[in-house]
């Protein structure tokens, strides 16, 4: 549309607020806008002025909008009419279609949608006027026009041939849906969906290839297009080919007319590699974050352990000297037992810090690892004093090959999740067990917490998803649950590289059981 010519639009609506809003929206698109509130006023204006498009409310104070459109059609006014209404009754839509109105907008509508519909109506009006002018010229220059038309037809045929060839060779899947089934597809579309063209065209729908979990989203997207409510952007979903291959694709589509009938035209792009790249990038970020955190913890624990060993050795030495001088003192035995216990705790912390920093593949006894992690968790006073614990370990588990921190941190995250789950529960119980089967090592962590809500279950292992507060007052509640939403995500990512699977069973108000299944080493 030329920027130097302002097209004039007539708005007929009895609501002043609607008239003002439409004027503001259309002025932004460089349209001149005339408004009135009754059919009678509109009729008088149309007798004097010419408009590029009409926006008419269905319910006018002096005449039904459909009757008004019928009247101006009888007067020979061919200006494109766009009906605006707050009602979605099918009967009104049918009447509008019979009157060949240009479009049908249901309130509330978006600014962009309104501007696009009006723009298209103006362009249609301009084309109609041009066609009428051409028709008048045709009577004068019929012979020359016939030659020109013949030439244009030849060019269009050549252009169509080139266009079809281009569609067949493009790297994007192109399709046309009509009456729910494929009316046209190109070769790339066939390859994406794993079918030959003839097989796809026969009684096939796009829904036949959509994974069930994406079906509702795709159906809503296509329904919106058919109803004329063009959705913003695209829709992403997963398709399954006849051989079982799964692909993530992105689809753009719009309503068109194909062979004289309504249809949906669209294109599909395979984004599987892009989605995999995003996933790998995110996993790497999480792994780097985890490794940095583990390294910092390892260095800190090593320093603390080293600094504590010296004063403990002095206390222990002096206690032994005191016992030699006063063998009857009972207190010296208590001091020696407690210093020995402190030394054992420090050795456990130092070993954990050393093992955590070790990134080499080692043999890991999962029973021993769990016992060390549970001993480490006794620093959590809530876990130590307020949680009833039940540990059942298999008599023997074959050592697994792996990086110590992958298993220690993953199991710690899952156990800590169970501790947080029972924090506000009336019954605070956690059961941890290991089991050896013919093909797997199974670790179960069961809690008596509130369970996991159905709407949260699918997002449980998603990075940064958490139902815990991100910050708490550590002075008042030092053991209160808090999280970043990374624990379970890191656990699943870390153990997946060993072929391990993490599943869960949950029941609201009764608790959750996490099951870690690790392939049994040969």
Domain 359-522: which CATH number of 3.40.50.2000, 3.90.76.10, 3.40.640.10, 3.30.565.10: 3.30.565.10
Q: Is the dihedral of CA 98, 102, 107, 113 positive or negative?
A: positive
Residue 423 has a CB neighbour count (10 Å cut-off) of 17
Quick check: 148 pLDDT over 90? Answer: no
Quick check: 166 pLDDT over 70? Answer: no
3-state DSSP helix/strand/coil % of the chain, to nearest 5: 50, 20, 30
* Cα–Cα distance measured from residue 489 to residue 373, given in angstroms and rounded to the nearest whole number: 19
Task: Provide the pLDDT for residue 319.
Answer: 77
519 or 461, which is more confident? 519
* Cα–Cα distance measured from residue 106 to residue 237, given in angstroms and rounded to the nearest whole number: 29
Share the mean pLDDT of the chain.
Answer: 80
- Region 480-503: what's the mean pLDDT? 81
Quick check: 35 pLDDT over 80? Answer: yes
The full set of domain ranges for the chain reads 8-140, 171-270, 272-357, 359-522
Domain 8-140: which CATH number of 3.40.50.2300, 1.10.1740.10, 1.10.510.10, 3.30.465.10: 3.40.50.2300
Look at the domain 272-357 and name its fold.
Helix Hairpins (1.10.287)
Q: What is the pLDDT of residues 425-457, one digit of tens each?
A: 899 999 999 999 999 999 999 999 999 888 888
Closest CA to 365 of 434, 416, 463, 449: 434
| The two structure tokens encoding residue 217 | 């989203």
Q: What is the pTM of this model?
A: 0.40
Closest CA to 338 of 304, 305, 315: 315
Domain 171-270 belongs to what architecture?
2-Layer Sandwich (3.30)
Task: Provide the pLDDT for residue 501.
Answer: 93
User: With contact defined as beta carbons under 8 Å apart, do 298 and 354 qualify?
Assistant: yes
Task: Provide the pLDDT for residue 53.
Answer: 92
Q: What is the pLDDT of residues 495-509, one digit of tens each?
A: 888 899 999 999 988
Task: Provide the pLDDT for residue 511.
Answer: 93
Q: What is the pLDDT of residues 320-376, one digit of tens each?
A: 777 788 787 777 777 777 777 666 666 666 555 555 555 678 899 999 989 888 887
Task: Provide the pLDDT for residue 177.
Answer: 86
């Amino acid at each position: 549309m030329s920027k130097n010519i302002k097209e004039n639009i007539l708005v007929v609506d009895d609501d002043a607020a609607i008239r003002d809003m439409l004027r503001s929206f259309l002025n932004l698109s460089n349209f001149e806008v005339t408004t009135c509130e009754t059919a009678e006023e509109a009729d008088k204006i149309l007798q004097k002025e010419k408009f590029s498009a009409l926006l008419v409310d269905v319910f006018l104070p002096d005449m039904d909008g459909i009757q008004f459109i019928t009247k101006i059609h009888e007067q020979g006014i061919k200006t494109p009419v766009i009906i605006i209404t707050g009602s979605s009754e099918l009967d009104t839509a049918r009447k509008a279609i019979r009157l060949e109105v240009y479009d049908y907008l249901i309130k509330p509508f978006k600014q962009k949608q309104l501007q696009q519909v009006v723009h298209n109506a103006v362009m249609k009006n301009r084309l109609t006027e041009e066609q009428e002018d051409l028709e008048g010229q045709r009577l004068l220059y019929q012979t020359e026009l016939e030659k020109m038309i013949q030439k244009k037809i030849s060019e269009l045929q050549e252009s169509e041939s080139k266009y079809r060839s281009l569609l067949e060779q493009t790297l994007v899947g192109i399709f046309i849906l009509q009456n729910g089934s494929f009316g046209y597809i190109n070769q790339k579309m066939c390859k994406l969906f794993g079918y030959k063209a003839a097989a796809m065209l026969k009684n096939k729908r796009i829904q036949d290839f959509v994974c069930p979990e994406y079906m509702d989203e795709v159906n809503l997207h296509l329904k919106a297009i058919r109803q004329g409510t063009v959705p913003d952007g695209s829709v992403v979903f997963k398709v399954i080919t006849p051989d079982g291959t799964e692909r993530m694709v992105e689809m753009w589509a719009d309503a068109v007319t194909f062979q004289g009938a309504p249809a949906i035209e669209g294109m599909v792009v395979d984004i599987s590699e892009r989605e995999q790249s995003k996933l790998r990038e995110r996993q790497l970020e999480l792994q780097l974050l985890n490794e940095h955190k583990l390294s910092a913890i390892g260095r800190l624990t090593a320093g603390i352990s080293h600094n504590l060993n010296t004063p403990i050795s002095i206390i222990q030495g002096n206690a032994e000297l005191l016992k030699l001088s006063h063998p009857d003192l009972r207190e010296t035995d208590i001091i020696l037992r407690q210093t020995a216990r402190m030394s054992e705790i420090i050795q456990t912390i130092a070993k954990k810090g050393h093992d955590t920093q070790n990134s080499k593949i080692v043999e890991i006894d999962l029973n021993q690892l769990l016992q060390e992690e549970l001993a480490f968790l006794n620093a959590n006073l809530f876990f130590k004093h307020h949680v009833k614990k039940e540990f059942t370990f298999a008599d023997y588990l074959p050592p697994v090959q792996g990086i110590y921190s992958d298993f220690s941190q993953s199991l710690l995250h899952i156990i800590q999740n169970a501790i947080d789950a029972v924090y506000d529960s009336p019954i605070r119980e956690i059961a941890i067990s290991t089991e050896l089967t013919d093909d797997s090592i199974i670790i179960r962590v069961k809690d008596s917490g509130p369970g996991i809500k159905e709407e949260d279950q699918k997002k449980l292992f998603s990075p940064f998803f958490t139902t815990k507060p991100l910050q708490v007052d550590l002075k008042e509640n030092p053991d209160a649950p808090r999280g970043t939403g990374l624990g379970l995500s890191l656990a699943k990512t870390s153990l997946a590289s060993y072929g391990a699977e993490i599943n869960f069973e949950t029941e609201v108000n009764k608790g959750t059981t996490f099951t870690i299944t690790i392939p049994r080493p040969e």
